[in-house]
Amino acid sequence: MITGAAGGIGRATVRRLLAQGATVHGLDRDRAGLEALGEELADVGRFHAQAVDLTSRRDTERVLGRLNERLGGRCDILVNNAGISRLRAFGDTDDELLEELLAVNLTAAFRITRALLPSLRASGRAAVINIASELALVGQAGYTAYCATKGAVLGWTRALAVELAPSGIRVNALCPGPIDTAMLQAEFAALGDPLRARAQEIALVPLGRLGAPQDIAAVVEFLASDAAAFVSGAAWSVDGGKTAR
């Protein structure tokens, strides 16, 4: 199961796991995006999409109830990928913005993982991959609320890894750097000069480029595989060396 399946990283991850033979259930509030992805993958036949507002407890529980039945009581891989960011000075960050970021970036992942816990335990070797951010590891002006929520994802990931280890469930976090997605482009636009913002961001990356969604999907595949059988409770930076400076 992958949340945020219609976005850049989500779409790449869906394709990557399908290529490895998985049956993938994708969740996203972007109904049109999900439908378009479903049409693109119609020939594969193993992608099932469901539109859901992850900030709504009632909507999420309704959808997950049906999906648990479709999963047949077993879930091998859960990718908590849905996330949002907002650029705003700390003094202008009101409760509504903080609550919006918490609802998507942390609470939704917490709620979905809890609902799927019986199915994850039934797998015997399930992997949970939480998409955090480089800003869970370092600070950046204008992103205090985002940093707070993604830092919370790391703390939750570590605690969950310890608690679920006896059930054979591995839990890891992946911390993307600047990835060339619609969300990042929106952040560049919010700064007023997108081309200048893009160039400045690339200058901070030792490898000299923005990441591609496929870069993240490849690490998700690894963390979900038996090759990572002894990896749990870790935070994987996939940022072109940016946070190593």
Q: What whole-number distance in Å separates Cα of residue 228 and Cα of residue 170?
A: 9
Sign of CA dihedral 156, 212, 188, 37: negative
The strand pairing partners of 210, in sequence order, are none
Residue 143 is among the residues annotated as catalytic for this protein: no
Instruction: Give the CA distances from residue 101 to residues 40, 83, 133, 143, 213, in Å, rounded to whole numbers and listed in that order.
Output: 30, 8, 13, 11, 21
Pairing of strands 235-238, 24-28: unpaired
The length of the chain in residues reads 245
H/E stretch holding 130: strand 127-131
Give the residue among 120, 121, 156 at the shortest CA–CA distance from 235: 156
Task: Indicate which residue of 47, 143, 146, 188 is catalytic.
Answer: 146
Q: What whole-number distance in Å separates Cα of residue 192 and Cα of residue 195?
A: 9
Q: What whole-number distance in Å separates Cα of residue 117 and Cα of residue 150?
A: 22
* Active centre residues (catalytic): 146
